[in-house]
Amino acid sequence: MKADNGRLSFFDKIGYGFGDFASNFFWQMFAIYIAKYYTDVFLLSAAAMGTMMLVTRSADAVIDPLIGIVADRTRTRFGRFRPYLLWMAVPLALSAVATFTVPDLTGSAKIGYAYLTLTLLMFCYSAINIPYSALFGVLTADSAERSTVSAYRFVFGFLPIFILVNATDPMVRYFGGSSIAPRGWQAAMIVYSIIAVVFFVLTFLLTRERVKPVADHHQNLKEDLRDLRGNRPWLVLSLVGVAALTCGNMRSAVMLYYFDYVVPNGHGAFATAMTIGALAFLVGVAISAPLVHRFGKKRFYLWSTLTTAVLLVAFYFVPVGNIPAIWALHGLISLSIAPTAPITMANTSAAATHFVTYRRIRRGSNVSCVLSEVPKSAARKLAASTIESRTSTMPTPRIVPSRCAPTRMRRSRCSATKNRSTGPGLVNTPVDDWPEPLPVENSPAKFGAFVRHSGSSTRSPSCDPTTHSAGIDVPAPTWY
Handedness of CA 243, 291, 346, 18 (dihedral sign): positive
Handedness of CA 29, 33, 38, 42 (dihedral sign): negative
* pTM, two decimal places: 0.70
Burial of 268 (0-12, 13-18, 19+ CB in 10 A): exposed
Contacts of residue 306, defined as CB under 8 A and 6 or more positions apart, other chains included, come to: none
**Residues 281/288, Cβ–Cβ less than 8 Å:** no
- From first to last of the 480 residues of the chain, give the pLDDT tens digit: 444 456 888 899 999 999 999 999 999 998 899 989 999 999 999 889 989 988 888 887 788 888 888 888 888 999 999 999 999 999 999 999 999 999 999 889 999 999 999 999 999 999 999 999 888 878 887 777 877 787 788 788 889 999 999 999 999 999 998 989 999 999 999 999 999 999 999 999 999 998 876 555 555 667 766 766 777 777 787 787 777 777 877 887 788 889 988 998 888 899 899 899 889 988 887 787 788 788 887 888 888 889 999 999 999 999 998 999 999 999 999 898 887 766 666 666 566 656 656 665 555 544 444 555 555 555 455 443 333 333 333 333 333 433 444 434 344 444 333 333 333 333 333 333 333 333 333 333 333 333 333 333 333 344 444 443 333 333 333 332
Whether the link from the prior residue into 324 is cis, omega within 30° of 0, is no
